Amino acid sequence: MSTNIIRDVIFRTNGEMFVGVVGPVRSGKSMFIRKFMELKVLPYIKDNDLRNKVIDELPQSAEGRVIMTVEPKFVPSNAVTINVEDDLVLNVRLVDCVGYIIPSAKGYTNEDQSPRLVRTPWFNENIPFYDAATLGTKKVIENHSNIGIVMTSDGTFGEFSRHEYEECEEKIIDEVKMLNKPFVIVLNTAFPNSEETKKLANYLEEKYDVAVVTVNVKELNEHDVDLILKKALSEFDINELNIKIPSWIQALRNDNPYKREFTEIIDSITGEYRKFKHL
C-alpha cells in the first residue's frame, strides 16, 4: 500500500479505517471486499491463526441473478490491527451490506413471493430483505464506517443492465449523501479503460458531485485500491483553513474599503473549499 496514502488514512481516521461497502445487489460488493482483504490486509497479518480466521470470514461471491449477501457482515468480525511499517499502525474492518434490490434478481422473496426475512445485527427478529437493505445502508455508513464505498455497475458483466443498476444507485447515493460521510463511487465494469466507461464515469461525477473510480473488481489490483482510497480521502470535509493575512491589512479598521474588499474576497474563496478535493 502506498505509504503516503496510508499515512493520510491514519491521520484522517485516527488510525481506524472502517469501510462500509454498499450498493445494488449483484454489483460486486462481496468480491471487492474479498479482493481488498487479500491485497491490503492479509499480507500484514503475521499471526497464522488470526490470518486463517480472517480468511474463513471472507465473503463468498458467484455469478448469476441469485443474491449472495443476505445479511450485513463485518469482515473481519473484529477489526484487525496491521503494521504497515514500524511507525504505521492501522485498525481495519470492512462491512458487507445487504444490497438494494434489483427487481429481476433472485433470492429476495420466498417461493410464494412473500418477502424473504433476513437477520441483521440491529434487531432480535428477522426483517424483510428490502428493509435490511435500506436500514443496513444507513446503519453501516452512519454508525460503522468512516469511509463509504458505493458500488455500482455499467452492466458490462453479469446479467443485469445499466438501467437496472441505475435505479438503485440513485436511491443509495441520495441516502448516503444525507449521512454526511466521505464516500466514493466504484464503477464495476468489464472495460475500465474504455472511452465509453470514462464518459459514464465523468457523467456520474458531474451528476452526484462525488469521485468515481472505474475498476474490474474481478481483476482488482493494489493500484486500484490505492486510487480508491486516495479518492475517498479527497471527499473528507475541510474543518479549518489557515490563511495568512498581511499584518498591514489586519491593522486597518473594519470599515476600511481595502479591508472590506479583502474580507469579501476571502469569504468568496473559502466558501468554495468544502472538501480536500477542492484544494
Task: Give pLDDT tens digits for 72-83.
Answer: 788 888 888 877
CA distances from 194 to 156, 197, 198, 200, 228 (A): 12, 5, 6, 10, 18
- Higher-confidence residue of 67 and 169: namely 169
Q: Averaged over 211-220, what is the pLDDT? A: 96
Q: What is the pLDDT of residues 128-141, one digit of tens each?
A: 888 888 888 888 88
Query: Do residues 22 and 137 lie in contact, with contact meaning Cβ atoms separated by under 8 Å?
Result: yes
What is the distance between the alpha carbons of residues 202 and 185, in angstroms, rounded to a whole number? 11
Terminal-residue alpha carbon distance, the chain: 24
Domain-wise residue ranges, the chain: 3-234, 247-278
CB atoms closer than 10 angstroms to residue 36: 24
What is the band of 237 on the pLDDT scale with cuts at 50, 70, 90?
low
Q: What is the pLDDT of residues 116-126, one digit of tens each?
A: 888 888 888 88
What is the distance between the alpha carbons of residues 74 and 117, in angstroms, rounded to a whole number? 19
Strands 16-22 and 147-153, by their bridges, are parallel
Please say whether the structural domain 3-234 has been given the CATH code 3.40.50.300: yes
Q: Averaged over 57-76, what is the pLDDT? A: 74
For the record, the C-alpha cell of 232 comes out as 475517498
pLDDT > 90 in the chain, percent: 30
Q: Quick one: pLDDT at residue 274?
A: 63
Q: Quick one: pLDDT at residue 119?
A: 83
